[in-house]
Amino acid sequence: DSEPKKEDLQQIIQLMDGFKASKALFTASKMGVFDLLQRKPGLDAAQVAQEIKAAVKGTEGLLGACVSLGLLQIYKNTDLATRYLWSDSPFSLHGYIQHCNETLWPLFSHLESAVREGTNQHERAFGKKANDLFQDTYYNNQSVKLRFMNAMHSIAKVTGKAVATAFDLSSYKTACDLGGCTGAIAYELTKAHPEMSVTVFDLPEVVEMSEHFHPSHTDNRVSFVAGDFFKDELPKADLYILARILHDWPDEKVHILLKKIGDACTPGCGVLLSEILLNEDRSGPSRGLLQALSMSDGKQRSAAEYSTLLKSHGFITAEIRHTDNLLDAMLCVKEMCSASS
Ligand code: SAM
């Protein structure tokens, strides 16, 4: 044990350098490098520099870092970048990468304060207090709102099919996607289930922008309703979707929402939950545990924790699916007889 082990050092160095790699990816994405090289593969560094209006020396450094990370070959997009990094690819993560750069990066730069205080750091990072993350932070500025919607849309497009096909949903004909944002998951659901129609329910600020995100073949089985799921009546449906909703809220708020869903449901109705499910011993996955560090007022939970929350509103967990995609899924069904019967 007198010498440091190579694998140990590699593991530590990877963690220490992780933020540099993240920022190189974010910067190349923001400066349009992947979009440019998708349109014009084969440029040299000086040509790239001219097109992205940057210094040749700086551009060489950025391109070199991207080559070393497997994102570029000298100089064109690798298959990975072609699939996920330029803005118009079907599975583009460009929108989410912008969100990481503009929102999560500033929040994480205040991680020490977040840990000391146990609160979210929106005020430190952005100069304003966020009581409601959506209404106070994301939606009172049009370009921030669009950036957030693009971020949600990009993840939902990548995960939507895995969520929509995780379970046999053939007995459900009407679904309501609560906080369904751009409708990306709703469109995947109607594609996978030809007899299902889906109502996307989200805040008015989101619904008014939803047309920007309609796929070119709009599907008349997807409709949009504006409202606040804590206050307004929920659209009737026999399946409610909660995709990346509950992790944003503390248990008290989750109970308010689940009670409303429980009241709207008759026996046999379902809730399809889609979240990163933490291991029951909280040993991972690190994606979920790291996301928890951005300290919204919500929290990441395990399947058993979600089951307990849903059980108290009359829903029995029928199936749990750990997909190989970014999000896992649970299907819960409203019990046949309630305590009051
Ligand atoms: N379900 C989408 C997905 O998985 O891609 C979006 C998830 S995003 C993290 C949370 C969504 O909940 C946003 O679209 C937001 O506008 C919506 N939302 C937040 N508060 C809401 C409220 N009080 N009523 C209705 N929707 C709300």
Concatenating the DSSP letter of every residue in 99-162 gives HIIIIIHHHHTTHHHHHHH-S--HHHHHSS--SSIIIIIISSSHHHHHHHHHHHHHHHHHHHHH
Establish whether residue 327 lines the binding site of ligand 1, counting it when its CB lies within 6 angstroms of any ligand atom.
no
At 94 the pLDDT is: 98
Pocket test for ligand 1, best of 152, 233, 274 (most atoms within 8 A of CB): 152
At 340 the pLDDT is: 47
The predicted-structure confidence for 113-127, as pLDDT tens digits, reads as follows 999 999 889 999 999
Establish whether residue 244 lines the binding site of ligand 1, counting it when its CB lies within 6 angstroms of any ligand atom.
yes
Positions of CATH 3.40.50.150 in the chain: 159-334
Establish whether residue 332 lines the binding site of ligand 1, counting it when its CB lies within 6 angstroms of any ligand atom.
no
Question: From atom 17 of ligand 1, which residue's Cα is the shortest distance away?
Answer: 179
Q: Give the three-class secondary structure for 215.
A: coil
What is the secondary structure of 226-293 as a DSSP string? E--TTTSPPPP-SEEEEES-GGGS-HHHHHHHHHHHHHHPPTT-EEEEEEPPBPTTS---HHHHHHHT
The predicted-structure confidence for 18-53, as pLDDT tens digits, reads as follows 999 999 999 999 999 999 999 999 999 999 999 999
Q: Give the three-class secondary structure for 87.
A: coil
Mean pLDDT of the residues in the chain: 94
Higher-confidence residue of 242 and 295: namely 242
- Which position among 94, 122, 193, 247 bears the catalytic label? 247
State the Cα–Cα distance between residues 205 and 208, nearest whole angstrom: 6
CB 164 within 8 A of CB 221: no
At 216 the pLDDT is: 74
Burial of 55: CB neighbours in 10 Å, binned 0-12, 13-18, 19+: exposed
State the Cα–Cα distance between residues 248 and 250, nearest whole angstrom: 7
Given the cut 0.85, state whether the ipTM is greater than it. Answer: yes
The token pair that represents 172 in the structure block? 């459900």
Percentage of the chain lying above the pLDDT 90 cut: 87
Question: From atom 9 of ligand 1, which residue's Cα is the shortest distance away?
Answer: 244
Establish whether residue 187 lines the binding site of ligand 1, counting it when its CB lies within 6 angstroms of any ligand atom.
no
CB 225 within 8 A of CB 201: yes
**Which CATH number does 6-86 carry?**
1.10.10.10
Positions of CATH 1.10.10.10 in the chain: 6-86
Q: How confident is the model at residue 219 (pLDDT cuts 50, 70, 90)?
A: low
Q: How confident is the model at residue 2 (pLDDT cuts 50, 70, 90)?
A: confident
The predicted-structure confidence for 225-275, as pLDDT tens digits, reads as follows 999 999 999 999 999 999 999 999 999 999 999 999 999 999 999 999 999
State the Cα–Cα distance between residues 324 and 180, nearest whole angstrom: 22
Angle between helix axes 184-192 and 142-164 (nearest 10 degrees) is 20
In CATH, which of 3.30.70.270, 3.40.630.30, 3.40.50.300, 3.40.50.150 is domain 159-334?
A: 3.40.50.150
303: left (phi over 0), alpha (psi -120 to 50) or beta: alpha
Catalytic residue check, 322? no
